[in-house]
Amino acid sequence: MKRSEHIKLIKNSFKEAKKTSIKLKVVVISNDCCLECLKIDGQEIEFLEAEKNPPIPHPNCTREWGCNCTIGFLPIRDENGNLLIK
């Protein structure tokens, strides 16, 4: 996938995730893309920070056909396990 297409998909993911009333954080899923991407696999990032500076596509990705990493959105919970609302 072209880098520009990947960025467009990620931006759309953030747009859709904003529609929820639940507070979210972002997790990077590398899908065994390459060694560079494996370094950030599982990394959890605050939503606004990740939206402002998306961690993927990884700028140093070495996969021949382009970065195939994705992101997931995790709900944020309080100390009692309750979902936090925006």
Query: Would you give per-residue pLDDT tens digits along the chain (86 residues)?
Result: 788 888 899 999 999 999 999 999 999 999 999 999 999 999 999 999 999 999 999 999 999 988 999 999 999 999 999 999 99
Name the 3-class secondary structure at 27: strand
Name the 3-class secondary structure at 85: strand
Instruction: Tell me the pTM.
Output: 0.86
CB under 8 Å to 71, separation ≥6 — which residues?
10, 13, 26, 27, 28, 29, 50, 54, 55, 56
Identify the pLDDT of residue 2.
81
Using an 8 Å Cβ cutoff, are 25 and 45 in contact?
Answer: yes
Identify the pLDDT of residue 44.
97
- Tell me the CA distances in angstroms from 76 to 28, 38, 46, one per residue in order: 16, 24, 10
Identify the pLDDT of residue 47.
97
